[in-house]
Amino acid sequence: MQIQDLRPKISNRKKKRVGRGSGSGHGKTSTRGHKGAGQRKGSPHYIGLEGGNVPYLRKIPKRGFSSKHAVSFQIVNLDDIMKRLKDKKEITPRELKEANLIDNVSKPVKVLARLQGKLSFKATFKAHKFSKKAEELITNSGGKAEWLGR
Please report, in tens digits, the pLDDT of each residue of the chain (150 residues total). 899 888 877 777 778 889 999 888 899 998 888 988 788 888 777 788 888 899 898 999 999 999 999 999 999 999 999 989 888 899 999 999 999 999 999 999 999 998 888 888 899 999 999 999 999 999 999 999 999 986
Give the pLDDT score at 142: 92
Give the pLDDT score at 77: 94
Do the bridges between strand 90-91 and strand 144-147 make them parallel or antiparallel, or are there none, so unpaired? unpaired
Q: Are 47 and 41 in contact (CB under 8 A)?
A: no
Query: For the structural domain made of 74-147, what CATH number should be given?
Result: 3.100.10.10
Q: Which residues contact 143 (CB under 8 A, 6 or more apart)?
A: 119, 121, 122, 123, 124, 125
Element (H, E) at 91: strand 90-91
Q: Which residues contact 133 (CB under 8 A, 6 or more apart)?
A: 112, 113
Q: Are 108 and 73 in contact (CB under 8 A)?
A: yes
Give the pLDDT score at 150: 63
| pTM attached to this predicted model | 0.58
Per-domain residue ranges for the chain? 74-147
